[in-house]
Each structure stands twice: as structure tokens, then as C-alpha cells.
């Protein structure tokens, strides 16, 4: 279903442009209030990451929702999955997250959750867009919504994260490094892992409104790798700016991505004799992950890139595990959406129970060499329709001769074309991806 304002994960853009202006967000808050708040529960929760623009958009959303006659509960800085959790437990009509996830500080965005803590259906987003285009009318003064700040929001979510693993599980003796990306997990993740007994060193936990995701976090784990090796830690954990993604670094300093973490969680479910029939990945999921999951005796299916599509496939198949290479992992038997902290806890619980190191736990999966290049779009022609690009892709597929894959797709969150090549020979993969990327760049 075509949408006018919504992308694959809410609305996102550069602050001060397009939909990401104070006046547009105010009206969007009003539209959301009109569409999502029912007569029996006219209350919406709002949380945010640590971007400086979050102050502005929080106030704008509050004003718009109040004008629609909807009460507001302000959560302050909170990971996206924490906002989904509190939307459910506070019995809100909807939840709104002010975040641009892994993007730089000068971008921001809005994500929305239903009363059940799940992403909105396409038809609901379309309804919000239709209401947004209508004339904004403020309710009568006696019907205006009120706002209240929830002061114990982070404590509630900390306990929910800890409850996602067995009550007897402790990480005593485990030495870990946490990278909070100067984002929404900075005041939550350290408490979760410390309270479970781990020895924790924290980096990327000093947000100033401008340094979110800057040379840190799951999109740039170099700092984490350095610290794990320097500290002689057992492992490192890196979240993105809004806390719904996680990647790790093992004791050897090797990065453990979302595909490998999802495989380890599948192993954990099998280890504990929990019901697990299959795993959902995306078009970007490494072929080595698919083969490893099938070796566990599980089914595997791919979807389009985007957690909404992963979740849809999980529900259709009645499967509990799914995720993306980026580290956006959904454990439906634990939570309703992708959750970096909860996913990391599943991995650490398995290491504690099995006695394996992180490096040993991932060894059952052999990643196929894969290269992805992000090609910025200049705003001109669409490279996806270029005959030169189509020819370059066809030539690469011919060279791979059935022993690999080529995938081109536009990003749903940034003005980029992602070029991915996967195959058995790393040099060939790199060469082919560079050739295609140059062709795409010339056609952009």
C-alpha cells in the first residue's frame, strides 16, 4: 500500500526539513490523536532518544495530541522497545518514539506503536496520513488533553528486560564492555547487566545531544572492539541510538553481527528444549545463516528488508524468532518488537548455561563472504531503472554462476542505494560489488 509520508519504519528526515519541522510534527501529533486514541482510552505515551531535537519534537507532539483531546504520558529518554513495552503496560492507546535510530544527530524521526506494542498496520498509517492532510481543528478547551511525566519509566523497563531470562540466571564472573552509542540505552543497559552480576565497563554513555552514534554503537563497533581487547573482556555489546539493534564483539575481537546472534539464540532455544520451528531472515541475511539454521533442523524463510516484514512473516508462520543482519532481532516469546538489550540477554544466558564463549557459540555458523556498499543518491535519475546498472548486475550474476547472490535495494531510511554481493570467494565478491557500485554511482 503506497504511503505519502511514512517510510519502512515510521517517518524520518533531516531536522528542519520536510516532515521533521516543529509545525509539521505538531499537526502529526494531532492526526495521530484523532486516529489512534479511542473513546475508552484517550492516552498516548511519548519517548525519545538523546538527540537535541528531541526536546523540540516532544513539545510539538504534546501540543498536537492535547489539541486533539488526548492525554500524554512523557517517558523521557527511553529505548524504542522500552516505549513499546510501556505502551502496553500503561494501557495507552498508542506509543510514539522520537528517534532516527542509527542516523546522525541532525536527523530525527517518529516511530509509532499500537496499544499492543506492535508496529502500526499499513492501513492505520494511511489513515494518519489522510487525517494529516485534513484541516486541523482544536477541541473545545474543556476537552484538551493533559500531560504527565512518568518518573519511574526506566526502572519499569529494566525489570522487564531482566524478566526476559530465567530468574535463576546470573552473569557472575562475566566481564563485559557495553557501548551505548551515546543513545537511549545509556542509563538502562548498564543497570540491567550489573544487576545480573556481570562486571561491566561502559563506553558511549555520555550523551550531549550531538554525539549519538558518533564513532560508536552498533553501526561503528571499532571502539567496542578496542575496549574488549584492551580490557581482556569476555565480550562486548553495542547498541544503536534507540536501542532496538545490537551487535557484539567476541573475546578475540571479532564482530558478531545480527545473523550470528540470531543463530546463537536459535541454538539457545534448542538447548533449552523450547518450541522453535523456524527462523525469519531478510533478503540481506547471509546465506551461511540460512544453512546453519537448517542444520539445526529448523525452517528458514526470507522477507523484504525491514522489521515490519520480518514480524509479519513470523506471525504468519507462528514462529518466535526473526531478525536482520543489522542486529534488529525479534524474540516474540519475550517481547513484541526488536529489542537490543533483550536479545543480548538471550545470548548471554545461553553462554552462561552452556559454558561456551561467544566465539565458540558462533562457530556453528560459517558466514559466506558478503560485501555491501552504500551509494548516496544525488537526487537525479533513479539508478534502479538504468539499463547500465541492470547489465552490471546480470554480468555479476553470470560470474557468480549460481554460487552467490547480487542484491540492489533503495534504503528505506536514507537516500542511498545498497549494493550487496555474496559469494564463495572474497576477492571476487569485493571486485563485483565495487564494479556495480561504480555503475550505480554513475547512473545516480
- The CATH number of 11-150 is 3.40.120.10
Count of residues in the chain: 444
pLDDT value for 79: 98
Rounded to the nearest angstrom, the gap between the alpha carbon of residue 294 and the centroid of all alpha carbons in its chain is: 25
Strands of 416-423's sheet in order across: 370-376, 416-423, 404-410
Q: Residues 263-302, buried b or exposed e (16+ Cβ, 10 A)?
A: bbbbbbbeeeeeebebbbbbebbbbbbbebbeebebebbe
pLDDT value for 195: 98
Compute the distance between CA of residue 249 and CA of residue 201 in angstroms, rounded to an integer: 14
Residues of the chain with CATH 3.40.120.10: 11-150, 171-256, 257-367
Compute the distance between CA of residue 174 and CA of residue 162 in angstroms, rounded to an integer: 16
Report, at the CATH architecture level, how domain 257-367 is classified: 3-Layer(aba) Sandwich (3.40)
Q: Position of cell 528505506?
A: 412
pLDDT value for 40: 55
CATH topology of domain 370-443: TATA-Binding Protein (3.30.310)
Residues of the chain with CATH 3.30.310.50: 370-443
Compute the distance between CA of residue 272 and CA of residue 319 in angstroms, rounded to an integer: 16
In the set 53, 101, 326, 352, the catalytic residue is 101
**Is 101 an annotated catalytic residue?**
yes
The superfamily CATH assigns to domain 171-256 is Alpha-D-Glucose-1,6-Bisphosphate, subunit A, domain 3 (3.40.120.10)
Q: In terms of DSSP bridges, do strands 71-77 and 175-179 run parallel, antiparallel, or are they unpaired?
A: unpaired
Q: What is the pLDDT along the chain (444 residues), one digit of tens a residue?
A: 557 888 877 899 999 999 999 999 999 999 999 998 765 568 999 999 999 999 999 999 999 999 999 999 999 999 999 999 999 999 999 999 999 999 999 999 999 999 999 988 888 899 999 999 999 999 999 999 999 999 999 999 999 999 999 999 999 999 999 999 999 999 999 999 999 999 999 999 999 999 999 999 999 999 999 999 999 999 999 999 999 999 999 999 999 999 999 999 999 999 999 989 999 999 989 989 998 999 999 999 999 988 889 999 999 999 999 999 999 999 999 999 999 999 999 999 999 999 999 999 999 999 999 898 999 987 767 888 899 999 999 999 999 988 888 999 888 667 899 999 999 899 999 999 999 999 999 887
For 171-190, give the DSSP string: -TT-EEEEE-TTTTTTTTHH
Amino acid at each position: 500500500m503506497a504511503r505519502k509520508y511514512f517510510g519502512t519504519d515510521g517517518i524520518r528526515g533531516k531536522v528542519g526539513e520536510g516532515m521533521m519541522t516543529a509545525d509539521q510534527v505538531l499537526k502529526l501529533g494531532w492526526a495521530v490523536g484523532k486516529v489512534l486514541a479511542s473513546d475508552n482510552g484517550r492516552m498516548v505515551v511519548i519517548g525519545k532518544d538523546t538527540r537535541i531535537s528531541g526536546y523540540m519534537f516532544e513539545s510539538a507532539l504534546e501540543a498536537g495530541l492535547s489539541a486533539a483531546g488526548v492525554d500524554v504520558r512523557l517517558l523521557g529518554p527511553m529505548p524504542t522497545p522500552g516505549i513499546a513495552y510501556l505502551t502496553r503496560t500503561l494501557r495507552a492507546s498508542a506509543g510514539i518514539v522520537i528517534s532516527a535510530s542509527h542516523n546522525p544527530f541532525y536527523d530525527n524521526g517518529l516511530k509509532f506503536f499500537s496499544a499492543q506494542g506492535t508496529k502500526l498496520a499499513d492501513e492505520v498509517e494511511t489513515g494518519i496520513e489522510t487525517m494529516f492532510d485534513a484541516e486541523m481543528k482544536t477541541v473545545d478547551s474543556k476537552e484538551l488533553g493533559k500531560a504527565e511525566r512518568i518518573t519511574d519509566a526506566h526502572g519499569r523497563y529494566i525489570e522487564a528486560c531482566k524478566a526476559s531470562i530465567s530468574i535463576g540466571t546470573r552473569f557472575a564472573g562475566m566481564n563485559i564492555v557495553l557501548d551505548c552509542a551515546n543513545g537511549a540505552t545509556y542509563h538502562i543497559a548498564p543497570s540491567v547487566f550489573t544487576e545480573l552480576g556481570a562486571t561491566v565497563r561502559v563506553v558511549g554513555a555520555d550523551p550531549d545531544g550531538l554525539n549519538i552514534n558518533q564513532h560508536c554503537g552498533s553501526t561503528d563497533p571499532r571502539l567496542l572492539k578496542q575496549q574488549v581487547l584492551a580490557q581482556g573482556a569476555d565480550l562486548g555489546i553495542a547498541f544503536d541510538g534507540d536501542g532496538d539493534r545490537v551487535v557484539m564483539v567476541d573475546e578475540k575481537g571479532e564482530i558478531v553481527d545480527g545473523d550470528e546472534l540470531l543463530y546463537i539464540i536459535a541454538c539457545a532455544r534448542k538447548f533449552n528444549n523450547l518450541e522453535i520451528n523456524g527462523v525469519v531472515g531478510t533478503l540481506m541475511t547471509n546465506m551461511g545463516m540460512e544453512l546453519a539454521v537448517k542444520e539445526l533442523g529448523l525452517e528458514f524463510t526470507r522477507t523484504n528488508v525491514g522489521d515490519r516484514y520480518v514480524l509479519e512473516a513470523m506471525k504468519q508462520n507462528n514462529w518466535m524468532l526473526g531478525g536482520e543482519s543489522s542486529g534488529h532481532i525479534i524474540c516474540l516469546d519475550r517481547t513484541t518488537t526488536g529489542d537490543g538489550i533483550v536479545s543480548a540477554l538471550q545470548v548471554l544466558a545461553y553462554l552462561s548455561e552452556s559454558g561456551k564463549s561467544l566465539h565458540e557459540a558462533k562457530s556453528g555458523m560459517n558466514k559466506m563472504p558478503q560485501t555491501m556498499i552504500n551509494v548516496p543518491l544525488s537526487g537525479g535519475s533513479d539508478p534502479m531503472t538504468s539499463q547500465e546498472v541492470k547489465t552490471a548486475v546480470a554480468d555479476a550474476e553470470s560470474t557468480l554462476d549460481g554460487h552467490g547472490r547480487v542484491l540492489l535495494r533503495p534504503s528505506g531510511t536514507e537516500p542511498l542505494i545498497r549494493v550487496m554481493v555474496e559469494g564463495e570467494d572474497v576477492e571476487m565478491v569485493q571486485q563485483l560489488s565495487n564494479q556495480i557500485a561504480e555503475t550505480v554511482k554513475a547512473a545516480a
